[in-house]
Amino acid sequence: MVSLSQYMSQYDHEHTNPWNKRLHGIGIPVILAGIVLLALLHWRVGLSLFIGGWILLFLGHRIEGNKPAFFQGVIYFLVGPIWVAKEIVDSCAATLRPHVRRTRARSDSRTD
């Protein structure tokens, strides 16, 4: 049985272009927002977001030069949002790391 980490690794391998990553980082949340709005009966806005998000994803894959992962299996409809969440967390953590280092360095110099 394939684990989530293996699916994530495969998904990560197929999404290396920075523009594709950005377009997925925008497109997948837009698709999810569209689905929520469709469920809440705001169908015009929901449908527009849903279609717009998919356009961003297909544009990203056109730039990357590969096919969307969901052609390999429907599980990737779930892996995609998890991957985007991981990318956002990793990006935020990388942004915070220099601040943490500076704060630790200042506190270490005070104890000397």
pLDDT digits (tens, 9 = 90+) for 56-85: 999 999 999 998 888 888 888 888 899 999
Q: Which one has a higher pLDDT value, 98 or 57?
A: 57
And the tokens for 95? 């942004």
Question: Torsion-angle region of residue 2: left (phi > 0), alpha (psi -120 to 50) or beta?
Answer: beta
Q: Is the pTM of the predicted complex or chain greater than 0.85? A: no
**Gap between the Cα atoms of 9 and 15, Å rounded:** 10
Q: Is the pLDDT of residue 11 over 90?
A: no
| Average model confidence (pLDDT) across the chain | 85
- Work out the pLDDT band at 53, boundaries 50, 70, 90: very high
- Work out the pLDDT band at 44, boundaries 50, 70, 90: very high
Of the candidates 30, 24, 22, 23, which has an alpha carbon nearest to the alpha carbon of residue 48?
A: 30
Q: What's the number of domains the chain is made of?
A: 1
Domain of 91 in residue numbering reads as 4-111
- Residue-wise burial string across 74-85, b where 16 or more C-beta atoms lie within 10 A, e elsewhere: eebeebbeebbe
Please report the pLDDT score of residue 15 as a whole number.
87
Task: Tell me the percentage of the chain whose pLDDT exceeds 70.
Answer: 86
